[in-house]
Amino acid sequence: MEIKLLTIDQLQEAYASGELSVEAVVSAYLDSITHQDSKIGAYLEILGDQAIKRAEELDDKLQKGEKPTGLFGIPVAIKDNLCLLGSKTTAASKILENYVSPYTATAVEKLLGAGAVILGKTNLDEFAMGSSTENSAYKPTKNPWNLERVPGGSSGGSAAAVASQEALVALGSDTGGSIRQPASFCGLVGFKPTYGRVSRYGLIALASSLDQIGPFARNVKDAFKVYSTITGPDPNDRTTVKAPLYDEEILNKGFKNLKIGMLRDTFIEGMDEEVTKKTQEAIKLMKENSAEIVEIEVPRAKLSLAVYYIIVTSEVSSNLARYDGIRYGLGKEFKEAENFFDYTKRVRAQGLGLEAQRRILLGTYTLSKGYADKYYHKAILLQKAIAKDFAQAFKKVDVIFGPTSPTVAFKLGEKFEDPLTMYLSDIFTDPANIANLPAISLPIGFAHQLPVGGQFMGPRFRDDLVFQAAAAYENLSGIANLSAPKV
Amino acid sequence: MQLSEQDIEHLAKLARLNLDKTTEQKFAEQLSRVIDYVEVINNEQITDEEKKEFGGLSPIEFRTDKPGESDIKNLEKLPPKKEGKYIVSPPLT
């Protein structure tokens, strides 16, 4: 039995029948990390001893007759911007090099409560700023499908871990596509819930009004199981809402009663032709199988990327103002520093990477006197306009389908020196964050020997419709449980 | 260019970042390109009717402060430099 090919249901059946122990499964995943991760670089910290200890505790419970449900015995990786009590949480920044989480994030607490085993903390673009994981202060992560390519970002470590069988599922965070774009680049399912469905307590903030935590998995059902575990209201995050939990049955409904929208301007100039072709084939496949597809317009959605970069950088300049190296973090000595402000300037310049510095400066500009009306306030008005246009569109359709990214995984270094080109790789994912919509990316095929992702977006708080559509497509295409070749 | 090196120097001062001249020059160029791109939002007009509908920025509703027990022993371990119970900081002036 190839342990690492088993899904959550299959693993738990094997636990229940006594065919497998949690310890054997966790060891198999840890072995995979030992053998491959020096080449892939998915993890910043591997929590092997803790994982084995926890696996033994879970095996004891099995011995005592406990039935494996929820995420019992499931090996999970978590992005290193999520706090886990007693472990380092660096957000891949030097400024948090010595930061040990004083508490556990709600989403992680829920995973542990459901029986998951945490294997380690995964790499990301510093403070989740980026689309390639090259902005990590520690190391770049490689795409397991081709080690010369990026895994996407910012949750590139989590995506690479799942794609290379170094974890069964993982948590990431998505502010403008940071789960969906790496899922697309690595051949995985990645889901961004509606803003407010998952608590952000214990997630190191990038842009608080847009950040959401969500799952990576190799199939829709496993992603749904992780999502169902972490969703729900939390007194520690006032933006969370009480909303219904969905029955797994929604994954078997097919395209029944689902009207699928396609944006009139789906295929943009400069898009990879092979990605366009794969997306068109996916649409054809759905049409041939009696899914109803209609063309729609969301007139102001094309402004999402510009609106996104103004709102994000504005919030970044405010959120990152707290890092002064004095209360926690870097703690460098600068003997020549004349005073507190001089010290802070030096510690921030050393502790924060170039992309973080760029975004802080841009946000300082868009919020400054004389420019705030022109940029930040205008962007907030347009965000509401975009959300209104999407709400109008969702009166005509249930979900919207399109590509997740204009290209397949690009080469390491290809876009690194050109921030604007890097930002453009988020063009299809930003709208869901700007309009606070649920959205999922799932594999729809291959181009240039690399995975291609398709995206379903749904109306606000209708996370169920997005899962229903994704599961229906997955059943139809048979593309699921992809794993990159061993390195 | 939308942003000059002097602008970057001023923004860096506001944001408390110590930048060298080469970085200032590079950032001026890179951020000017980003600003050129996001400028597209200013070609889009929003009608007065819609402005009224959107109501500007959302009002912030604060929850009532409720004092409670807090375990600070893990927080106390975090500051890089301490003297007794105090966190050591460089002098303010």
CA–CA separation, B29 and B17 (whole Å): 18
Identify whether the C-beta of residue A93 lies closer than 8 Å to the C-beta of residue A353. Answer: yes
Q: Do A379 and B35 touch (CB under 8 A)?
A: no
Task: Out of A125-134, A145-154, A330-339, A428-437, pick the least confident.
Answer: A330-339
Task: Out of A28-37, A262-271, A441-450, pick the least confident.
Answer: A262-271
Q: Shortest Cα distance from A72 to chain B (angstroms)?
A: 29
- The helix-helix angle for A354-367 and B21-38 (nearest 10°) equals 60
A189-209 average pLDDT score: 98
Identify whether the C-beta of residue A376 lies closer than 8 Å to the C-beta of residue A367. Answer: yes
Task: Out of A218-227, A452-461, B47-56, pick the least confident.
Answer: B47-56
Say if residue A236's pLDDT is above 80: yes
Could you say which of A79, A121, A142, A221 is catalytic? Answer: A79
Domain ranges of chain A: 1-487
* pLDDT number for residue B58: 62
* pLDDT number for residue B57: 58
Task: Out of A53-67, A98-112, B51-65, pick the least confident.
Answer: B51-65
Q: Which residue has the higher pLDDT, A430 or A419?
A: A430
How many CB pairs below 8 Å do chains A and B form together? 139
* pLDDT number for residue A487: 85
Residue numbers in A near B63 (CB within 8 A):
238
User: What CATH code would you report for A1-487?
Assistant: 3.90.1300.10
Structure tokens at A249: 């049955």
Q: Give me the percent of chain A exceeding a pLDDT of 70.
A: 100
Name the residue among B8, B40, B74 with its Cβ closest to that of A306.
Answer: B40
Identify whether the C-beta of residue A99 lies closer than 8 Å to the C-beta of residue A88. Answer: yes
A82-87 average pLDDT score: 96
Which tens digit of pLDDT belongs to each residue from A294-321? Answer: 999 999 999 999 999 999 999 999 999 9
Say if residue B61's pLDDT is above 80: no
Listed residue (A266, A304, A271) closest to A283, CA to CA: A266
* pLDDT number for residue A288: 94
Place of tokens 């300082």: A364
* pLDDT number for residue A276: 97
Say if residue A330's pLDDT is above 70: yes
Task: Out of A112-116, A282-286, A341-345, A386-390, pick the least confident.
Answer: A341-345
Place of tokens 């996001």: B38
Which tens digit of pLDDT belongs to each residue from A358-383? Answer: 999 999 999 999 999 999 999 999 99
Say if residue A210's pLDDT is above 90: yes
CA B60 to chain centre: 19
Say if residue A237's pLDDT is above 80: yes
Q: Do B16 and A343 touch (CB under 8 A)?
A: no
Q: Shortest Cα distance from B29 to chain A (angstroms)?
A: 10
Could you say which of A21, A178, A184, A304 is catalytic? Answer: A178
Identify whether the C-beta of residue A174 lies closer than 8 Å to the C-beta of residue A430. Answer: no
Residue B56: pLDDT band (50, 70, 90) is: low
Residue numbers in A near B56 (CB within 8 A):
377, 380-381
* pLDDT number for residue A26: 98
* pLDDT number for residue B19: 96
* ipTM exceeding 0.90, yes/no: yes
* pLDDT number for residue B92: 86
Structure tokens at A357: 């510095």
B60 reaches A (C-beta below 8 A)? no
Listed residue (A46, A48, A49) closest to A123, CA to CA: A46
Which tens digit of pLDDT belongs to each residue from A132-178? Answer: 999 999 999 999 999 999 999 999 999 999 999 999 999 999 999 99
Task: Out of A436-445, B2-11, B16-25, B67-76, pick the least confident.
Answer: B67-76
Q: What is the mean pLDDT of chain A?
A: 96
For the question of residue A208 being annotated catalytic, the response is no
For the question of residue A225 being annotated catalytic, the response is no
Say if residue A334's pLDDT is above 90: no
